[in-house]
């Protein structure tokens, strides 16, 4: 009886293993990567934060876009933030992983352009204000896949 049970259990284990998904057979990884910064903002300050990002963050994203480092960016606001987690997502799409490599000329040009957009004292004051009501929760990189037919 014990031997029969062990044989049945071993047989069930063989059939219970799931098939492994195969890249380019079951799905295709797409180029590019999504950089997602998760931020928890005090609920009564989300509008202030988004308005500040429009003035401080978005212009810098446009510079990065102009240089080809990103090809799109977005902000997502969580509509049910009661769980205490991040309620704002800052999202950038990097067209290919090579754009994440160091490029001194490009990086210094971007830095110069971004710093010219907003006076340092004004930018520092805004960041200090942000830090009074926001907390960075996570910084993630995601990739897209497509299911094959």
Enumerate the H helices of the chain as residue ranges.
Answer: 2-16, 46-66, 104-117, 120-131
DSSP code of residue 23:
B
Mean pLDDT for the stretch of residues 35-43 = 97
The residues, ordered by sequence, that sit 6+ positions from 42 with a Cβ below 8 Å of its Cβ are: 133, 134
Fold of 28-147: Alpha-Beta Plaits (3.30.70)
Mean pLDDT for the stretch of residues 8-27 = 68
Residues 100-115 have pLDDT tens digits of 999 999 999 999 999 9
- Mean pLDDT highest for which of 2-6, 83-87, 113-117? 113-117
pLDDT at residue 21 in the model: 82
Sequence spans of domains, the chain: 28-147
Percent of residues, the chain, with pLDDT higher than 70: 87
Q: Average pLDDT over the chain, rounded to whole?
A: 90
């Amino acid at each position: 009886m014990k031997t029969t049970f062990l044989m049945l259990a071993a047989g069930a284990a063989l059939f219970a293993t799931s098939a492994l998904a195969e890249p380019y057979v079951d799905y295709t990884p797409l180029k590019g990567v999504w950089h997602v910064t998760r931020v928890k903002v005090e609920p009564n300050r989300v509008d202030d934060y988004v308005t500040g990002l429009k003035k401080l963050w978005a212009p810098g994203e446009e510079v990065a876009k102009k240089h080809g480092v990103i090809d799109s960016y977005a902000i997502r606001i969580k509509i049910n933030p009661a769980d205490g987690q991040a309620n704002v997502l800052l999202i950038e799409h990097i067209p290919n992983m090579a754009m994440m490599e160091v490029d001194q000329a490009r990086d210094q040009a971007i830095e110069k352009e971004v710093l010219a957009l907003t006076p340092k004292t004004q930018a520092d004051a805004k960041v200090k204000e942000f830090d009074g009501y926001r907390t960075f929760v996570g910084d993630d990189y995601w990739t897209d896949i497509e299911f094959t037919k």
